[in-house]
């Protein structure tokens, strides 16, 4: 139950699969990352020409991965509905024609949409390098991205058997008690999946990027209390402004007279304060410490963690 003043919201079932799909499409950056691009439904085909239409495709420019997106309801049988459908989608997604189609769509999005241009710019991707970067992204196997209202055991176990990585996000629906027309949805915090099978081959299994917080960097002494983070931003046609945020002991950021528990929300407040209409931004790639992005410092932390796991004694050969 969610309590908002005198109002109470109780958990409810989704009307149909389209309802959960609409929630995902309207809030895609909160599932696939603030630097993600969403391509709505496109028909793709397997090698023998069998057609299939995933709910969407997504590309996360920050982590250089791509998703075949299929929103589902847990009431659908894993073996007779979900598994056959996703298998066909993966076969079609792996065709060169599909990857070329998605590349051309994103290039067109870049040419037509200033917000898409900003996302490439945020990640340091120059216009001349767009096709090269997309080639590297689509050269990898897609991740199965599945928002769902509940994760059944069979779905979890099936996902763990696949060669492709699988990420499942739980989405919940609430209706106001006594006024069921008022609806609220609960979606993942900081695009964190409920189930993630990536890293099964040993690459940084212990932690993934979205599991790392500023508090972790403080504990590892890669960031210190009182450090000043900077972020430079300029809305189109305006003068660039530099924002400065102070790191607090508890891992929060103080900027613009407010305290934020999220790097991305802090960055979003800053860019909106100078007129940006963006609704998400990747705080990890925006905030810098001594000229280095926090995303890079996070990777340093993950490498340290991985080294400690491989050598728990802390010893090394001279």
Digit-coded pLDDT (tens) for 254-292: 999 999 999 999 999 999 998 888 888 889 989 999 999
**Given this model, what pLDDT does residue 192 score?**
85
Give yes or no for residue 128 having a pLDDT over 70.
Answer: yes
* Rounded Cα gap, residues 176 and 304, in angstroms: 47
Q: Which tokens is 33 given?
A: 């990352």
CB atoms inside a 10 Å sphere around CB 170? 16
The region that residue 99 occupies, defined by phi over 0 for left and psi between -120 and 50 for alpha, beta otherwise, is alpha
With bands split at pLDDT 50, 70 and 90, how would you rate the model's confidence at 313? low
pTM, full prediction: 0.82
For 255, the token pair is 């900027």
> Where exactly are the structural domains of the chain?
2-198, 211-310
Sheet strands side by side (includes 143-148): 36-40, 56-60, 65-69, 143-148, 166-170, 195-196
pLDDT tier, 306 (very low <50, low <70, confident <90, very high otherwise): confident
Interior/surface letters 106-123, b for 16+ CB within 10 angstroms, e for the rest: beebbeeeeebbbbbebb
């Amino acid at each position: 139950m969610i309590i908002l003043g005198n109002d109470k919201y109780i958990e409810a079932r989704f009307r149909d699969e389209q309802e959960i799909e609409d929630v995902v499409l309207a809030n895609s950056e909160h599932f696939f990352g603030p630097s993600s691009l969403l391509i709505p439904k496109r028909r793709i085909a397997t090698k023998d020409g069998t057609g299939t239409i995933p709910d969407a495709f997504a590309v996360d420019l920050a982590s250089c991965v791509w998703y075949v997106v299929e929103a589902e309801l847990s009431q659908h049988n894993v073996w007779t509905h979900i598994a056959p459908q996703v298998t066909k989608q993966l076969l079609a997604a792996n065709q060169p024609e599909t990857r070329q189609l998605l590349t051309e769509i994103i290039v067109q999005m870049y040419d037509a949409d200033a917000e898409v241009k900003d996302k490439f710019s945020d990640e340091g991707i120059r216009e001349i390098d767009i096709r090269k970067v997309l080639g590297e992204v689509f050269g990898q196997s897609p991740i199965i991205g599945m928002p769902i209202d509940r994760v059944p055991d069979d779905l979890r176990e099936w996902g763990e058997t696949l060669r492709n990585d699988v990420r499942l996000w739980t989405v919940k629906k609430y209706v106001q008690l006594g006024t069921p027309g008022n609806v609220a949805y609960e979606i993942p915090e900081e695009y964190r999946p409920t189930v993630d099978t990536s890293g099964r081959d040993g690459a940084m299994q212990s932690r993934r990027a979205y599991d790392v917080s500023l508090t972790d960097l403080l504990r590892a002494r890669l960031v210190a209390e009182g450090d000043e983070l900077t972020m430079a931003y300029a809305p189109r046609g305006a003068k660039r402004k530099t924002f400065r945020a102070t790191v607090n002991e508890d891992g929060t950021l103080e900027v613009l007279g407010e305290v934020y528990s999220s790097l991305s929300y802090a960055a979003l407040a800053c860019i909106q304060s100078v007129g940006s209409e963006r609704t998400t931004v990747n705080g990890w790639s925006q905030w810098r410490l001594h000229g280095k992005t926090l995303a890079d410092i996070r990777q340093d932390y993950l490498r340290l963690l991985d080294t400690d796991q491989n050598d728990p004694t802390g010893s090394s050969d001279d």
